[in-house]
Amino acid sequence: MTDRSLSASRDFAVVGTDTGVGKTVVTAGLVGWLRDDGVDARAIKPCQTGHPPDDDAEFVGDACGDPAAATCLRRLEPALAPAVAARQANADLGYERIRDGCRDALEAASIGVVEGIGGLRVPLSDGREVVDLIADLELPALVVARSGLGTLNHSALTVEALERRGIEVHGIVLNEYEGADVAERTNPSVLASMTERPVWTLAPISTDRPGTVPAAVEDALDPDVFPH
């Protein structure tokens, strides 16, 4: 563990290898950790699909005990990629509006954390994808991935795609890590060797009580998980 002031952290993105890998839990934990340390950190969700019931920004707000801890720029009902959901809902979802909205939200926070939508190549709008947004915002990326069999390929390809776009990859969080089998136990060291990036593991965290998430993430990880 490195003794670092969290206030020296910088804006970053939490991206995933896929949907359902735990980006929101990690985002909520890290934003809550920063706020508990006195930093005005805020999560930024560029677009929420499947709403209702899905609302990642609301979960982060609940985890932090403050709705102002997270903002969502646009909510769409169809549970699809944003570009597809917008077509289905006959809604106008412009890429420049998303990008500029993220920039404004980052400017308004001491530390902003942009949470991705699904994986990197999920279509956002106007032919642009999640990876385009992270590149345009010039944010370092923390990758969230599954812990078990298959994660080596998905995680390494995600890191490669980010690097190809000139995006700094800060590290990888293997979520819901239990060390249940040989694949899971060896994945952290193998993935670190493959990507030459730090790999952290995060045990399963119950989301039934969102307010417990930040403390659980802080207990499991160390301050090096924050880009500086």
* Residue 21 annotated in ligand binding: yes
* Residue 116 annotated in ligand binding: yes
Residue 45 annotated to the active site: yes
Q: Name residue 41's amino acid.
A: A
* Residue 90 annotated in ligand binding: no
Contact by Cβ (8 Å): 31, 152: no
* Residue 23 annotated in ligand binding: yes
Q: Of 35, 45, 51, 75, which one is the catalytic site residue?
A: 45
Coil, helix or strand for 146? strand
Per DSSP, the residues of 15-84 read: EESSTTSSHHHHHHHHHHHHHHTT--EEEEES-B-STTT--HHHHHHHHHT-GGGEEES-B-SSSS-HHH
* Residue 144 annotated in ligand binding: no
The phi and psi torsions of 159 (rounded to 5 degrees) equal: -60, -45
* Residue 24 annotated in ligand binding: yes
* Residue 56 annotated in ligand binding: yes
Residue 137's Cα: distance from chain center in Å? 14
* Residue 50 annotated in ligand binding: no
- Known binding residues: 20-25, 49, 56, 115-118, 175-176
Annotated binding residues for substrate, written as ranges, equal 49
Annotated binding site for Mg(2+): 24, 56, 115
Q: So which residues are the catalytic ones?
A: 45
